[in-house]
């Protein structure tokens, strides 16, 4: 590795993944969400670190430029963060409908929420120590956190979102200090609750990124490739125009990067015109199918995006997290992503490196 971060940040079309990768089967049961850990105590701590190391190694080996932790140390992208907060009772659960799509038993907010201690900062420092490449860390967005809870204390989604945003900002500042280059907030709720997003969702996101000098990203998608989501997608018709609601607001926001779902979706490509000027982290890998994309397919998606985004602002990525996929499939998809990016980079007159 020569030049490390500076080489990768200069590279045209730097590749990245949205967040999660499948965990090794010795760490957690594969191909399910909220999978229970197979280890405990010190063995679990060591196992998570070994899995994170492996995730970094596979991303590098397969040509991913902006490296993530693959979410190897967390059980779920929202729940694990909330577990570390005071004011939330995990024993006292209620069944709620997640993003209007599926029922889940969720914890209850019973008092003022606060962060007892840093949640992911040690893990991020561990990731930082593994690579000189730029690193990205994902946190849940305030509005998506609200949607995964029952609130008996604030009884106001807006107030609770503001509290979460303040907590996320504390965490993000510490992640930045630990050397994270890009801090990403996952807000799939922005594709569902449009009025709330407009009224307070974007403002809460702005609160979460306040004062950060690291690059900031927001990821908005149609969810993991699980049945509840694919069933929902089947009801959305032939053109998915949900981003039309969030993109104009994000274009005016201080967020640097917008991560969206594209490949094999029904999202009209021209919608990314609405975030002109922002970096576009484009999903060029489908996470809802086990079929591995060919490099040409990936390249084709990237070429179509380049009609609406400047090449130096395009970050080829996956549509969403890959946790529920078989491990080999997810890893082969990383190889396809970087091979596709390499084709387009060459067409634009940039060499493989
Ligand atoms: Zn997603």
The rounded Å distance from CA 295 to ligand 1 centre is 22
The rounded Å distance from CA 283 to ligand 1 centre is 10
List of residues 6+ apart from 156 with CB closer than 8 A: none
The rounded Å distance from CA 52 to ligand 1 centre is 20
Tell me the HSE value of 23 on the side-chain side, using a 13 A CA sphere.
26
Q: How confident is the model at residue 269 (pLDDT cuts 50, 70, 90)?
A: very high
- The residue whose two tokens read 């125009």 is 241
Domain regions of the chain by residue span: 5-347
Q: Evaluate the CA torsion angle 127, 284, 276, 11 in order and state its sign.
A: positive
Report the range of poorest mean pLDDT among 92-101, 114-123, 138-147, 256-265.
Answer: 92-101
pLDDT tens, 282-331? 999 999 999 999 999 999 999 999 999 999 999 999 999 999 999 999 99
Q: What is the mean pLDDT of residues 84-107?
A: 88
pLDDT at 279 over 80: yes
Q: In what order do the strands lie in the sheet with 279-283?
A: 136-140, 182-186, 215-220, 257-260, 279-283, 314-317
Cα gap 330→308, rounded to integer Å:
28
**String of DSSP letters for 131-187:** -SS-BEEEEE-HHHHHTTSEESSS--HHHHHHHHHHHHHHHHHHHHHTT-SEEEEE-
Q: Which of 148, 158, 215 is nearest to 184 (CA)?
A: 215
Cα gap 284→302, rounded to integer Å:
7
Q: Which of 196, 96, 225 is nearest to 148 (CA)?
A: 96
The rounded Å distance from CA 2 to ligand 1 centre is 32
pLDDT tens, 7-43? 445 799 999 999 999 999 999 998 888 889 999 999 9
The rounded Å distance from CA 102 to ligand 1 centre is 16
Please state, rounded to an integer, the average pLDDT across all residues of the chain.
Answer: 94
The rounded Å distance from CA 46 to ligand 1 centre is 28
Q: What is the mean pLDDT of residues 176-197?
A: 97
Biggest CA–CA distance in the chain, Å, is 58
Structure tokens at 265: 């979706």
Evaluate whether the domain defined by 5-347 bears CATH number 3.30.360.10.
no
Q: Which residues pair with 242 in a beta bridge?
A: none
pTM, full prediction:
0.95
The pLDDT of residue 96 is 83
Cα gap 338→117, rounded to integer Å:
37
């Amino acid at each position: 590795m020569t030049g490390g971060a500076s080489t990768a940040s200069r590279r045209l079309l730097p590749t990245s993944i949205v967040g999660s990768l499948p965990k090794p089967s010795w760490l957690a049961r594969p191909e399910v969400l909220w999978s229970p850990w197979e280890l405990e105590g010190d063995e679990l701590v060591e196992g998570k670190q070994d899995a994170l190391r492996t995730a970094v190694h596979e991303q590098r080996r397969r040509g991913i430029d902006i490296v993530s932790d693959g979410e190897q140390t967390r059980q779920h992208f929202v729940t694990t963060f909330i577990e570390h907060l005071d004011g939330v009772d995990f024993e006292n659960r209620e069944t709620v409908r997640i993003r209007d799509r599926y029922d889940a038993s969720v914890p209850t907010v019973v008092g003022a929420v606060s962060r007892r201690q840093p949640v992911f900062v040690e893990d991020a420092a561990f990731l930082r120590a593994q690579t000189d490449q730029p690193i990205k860390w994902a946190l849940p967005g305030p509005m998506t956190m609200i949607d995964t809870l029952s609130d008996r204390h604030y009884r106001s989604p807006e107030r609770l979102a503001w509290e979460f945003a303040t907590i996320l900002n504390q965490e993000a500042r510490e992640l930045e200090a630990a050397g994270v280059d890009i801090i990403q907030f996952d807000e799939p709720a922005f594709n569902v609750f449009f009025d709330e997003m407009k009224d307070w969702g974007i403002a809460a996101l702005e609160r979460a990124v306040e004062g950060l000098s690291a690059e900031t990203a927001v990821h908005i998608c149609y969810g993991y490739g699980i049945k509840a989501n694919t069933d929902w997608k089947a009801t959305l018709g032939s053109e998915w125009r949900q981003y039309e609601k969030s993109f104009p607001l994000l274009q005016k926001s201080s967020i640097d990067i917008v991560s969206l779902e594209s490949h094999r979706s029904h999202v009209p490509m021209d919608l990314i015109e609405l975030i002109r000027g922002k970096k576009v982290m484009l999903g060029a890998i489908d996470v809802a199918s086990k079929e591995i994309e060919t490099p040409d397919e990936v390249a084709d998606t990237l070429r179509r995006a380049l009609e609406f985004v400047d090449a130096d602002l395009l970050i080829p990525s996956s549509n969403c997290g890959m946790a529920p996929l078989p491990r080999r499939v997810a890893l082969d998809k990383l190889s396809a992503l970087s091979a596709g990016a390499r084709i387009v980079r060459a067409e634009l007159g940039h060499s493989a490196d």
